[in-house]
Amino acid sequence: MNSTRPPYAALTTTRDGVELLELMCRQTDTCVSICPAAGMSVVGMTVAGQQFVHLPLPLGSFVASQHTGGIPLLYPWANRLRSDLYQANGQDVDLADHTFVHRDGNGLPMHGLLVRWNQWEIDALAATDESADLRCHIDWSNHEPLMAAFPFNHRLSISMRLKATSLTIETSVTPKDQAPVPVSFGWHPYLQLPKSKRDDWTVTSPPLKQVALDQNNLPAHPLVEKTAADFAHGQPLKGHQFDDLFSGMHDGSTAHINGPASSIAVTFDQHYQWMQIFSPADATYCCIEPMTSLTAQLSDDASKLPQAPPEMTWSAQFTVSIKTTDA
């Protein structure tokens, strides 16, 4: 009798009273934990029992808070807007009265609308011999608070696929009316290298242009891009802190966080051309953030945003890959 277990598994479980969806690869001892109550954020990614995704609090406390952590989707805008007012595709929107809009220390709308959104439809949670997969969606117009803050009728879909030690996340926007939908979302992976300290990490990437930011961490007017530090040969995190925006990523570009015993690669597979690096000096993590648009572009000039065209699906994809070595 063959007792060999399938190489992949996909299941629902509970931890700290919180429902999780888990994707597992038994051959590499990899487990990805996704939390529907936390906006379908990835709240854990372990390889051989070592955690590569950072949460600021224990899971139960994290879900009850408004903190960001793990790998959350920032939708429909990434990072900040310049004000509560924006105009896009003929729609005028004022976010001032939307009490569920998350705000930064200066009161600016931040991180979109879904950080704790829990009303997702699960389309598939399944495993094959090749991968473990999750597919889910939101029909935007079914939710009045979402439509009021971003009045564009569409379906938002997320697909996550685990293969070996790589997690690929595809985000898709499908308009449901005969009108395009502006695209300005991003993801915010909080990543860490276990068994090592931040001072021992370096970040590498293709050549980048750094965007000049104002006192609110928003792009300066007019837009100024300057040659960034030499990430190609490894930018040490020791002695440096980052909350910086860069251009220069293209389809297939990869940024790495490298440590003495492991590394994480974030590959910008499709339609992510902007990258935020966030790692305060006292942090135990480094964020490599794929973004579909310039920060605050929705509020600054939405005519420059990508658009999901009517009767078509617009998708962006990135992959987080973990490599471990013997310490």
Check which CATH number belongs to the domain holding 178 and give it.
2.70.98.10
pLDDT-based confidence at 3, cuts 50/70/90?
low
Please give the pLDDT value at position 5.
86
**Mean pLDDT for the chain overall:** 95
What sign does the CA torsion over 236, 168, 193, 111 have? Answer: positive
Within a domain: 130: yes
Tokens representing residue 134 in the block: 């999750």
Within a domain: 131: yes
Within a domain: 120: yes
Rounded mean pLDDT, 120-124: 98
Residue 117 has pLDDT above 50, yes or no: yes
Comparing 126-135, 229-238, 304-313, the range with the smallest average pLDDT is 229-238
Q: Specify the number of domains making up the chain.
A: 1
Give the whole-number percent of the chain exceeding pLDDT 70.
98
Within a domain: 3: no
Please give the pLDDT value at position 326.
52
Total Cβ atoms within 10 A of residue 251? 13
Condensed to tens digits (0 to 9), the pLDDT of residues 65-112 reads 999 999 999 999 999 999 999 999 999 999 998 988 999 999 999 999
Q: What is the pTM of this model?
A: 0.96
Whether the Cβ atoms of residue 123 and residue 147 lie closer than 8 Å to each other: no
Within a domain: 2: no
Range(s) of the domain holding residue 75: 8-324
R_g of the chain, CA atoms, integer Å? 19
Please give the pLDDT value at position 327.
37
